[in-house]
């Protein structure tokens, strides 16, 4: 006697990853737009860690607002995505900036 396995209630992993990739693309698009509204990151890095933290908070707020406005994201989810994207992008940019500073460029 064969038994049927109940259908899996979780979405397939590939579908979940595709949704995350799409969301990341939305957050990155909003990030690119946000960059045009503020001083360059390199300039902010020169002002020091406190200025960098303040600018990061402003950018997270802006990206979250734009995700809600432009992509109908829920506020809590938009804030989570904005935080992840902004921190990641600022971290990468800061790393590149530090390298150029230490190399004397």
Domain count, the chain: 1
Instruction: For residue 3, tell me if it sits in a domain.
Output: no
CA distance linking residue 95 with residue 25, whole number of Å? 22
Q: Is 30 among the domain residues? A: yes
Q: Kindly provide the b/e burial profile for residues 12-49, where b requires at least 16 CB atoms within 10 angstroms of the residue's own CB.
A: eeeeeeeeeeebeebbebbbeebeeeeeebeebbeeee
Q: Residue 48 phi/psi, 5° resolution?
A: 115, 175
**Residue 14 pLDDT > 90, yes or no?**
no
In a domain, 61, yes or no: yes
Within-domain flag for 9: no
**Residues whose CB is less than 8 angstroms from the CB of residue 77 and which lie 6 or more positions away in sequence, other chains included:** none
Asked if the structure places residue 10 within a domain, the reply is no
Residue-wise pLDDT for 87-105, tens only, equals 999 999 999 999 999 886 5
- Domain extent at residue 77: 18-102
* pLDDT tier, 18 (very low <50, low <70, confident <90, very high otherwise): confident
Over residues 36-54, the pLDDT tens digits come to 999 999 999 999 999 999 9
Residue 84 lies inside a defined structural domain of this protein: yes
């Amino acid at each position: 006697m064969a038994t049927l396995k109940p259908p899996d209630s979780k979405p397939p992993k590939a579908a979940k990853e595709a949704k995350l990739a799409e969301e990341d693309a939305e957050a990155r698009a909003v990030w690119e737009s946000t960059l045009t509204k503020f001083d360059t990151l390199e300039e902010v890095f020169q002002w020091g860690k406190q200025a960098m933290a303040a600018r990061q908070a402003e950018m997270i707020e802006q990206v979250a607002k734009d995700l809600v406005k432009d992509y109908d994201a829920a506020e809590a989810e938009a804030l989570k995505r904005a935080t992840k994207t902004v921190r990641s992008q600022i971290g990468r940019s800061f790393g590149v900036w530090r390298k150029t500073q230490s190399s004397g460029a």
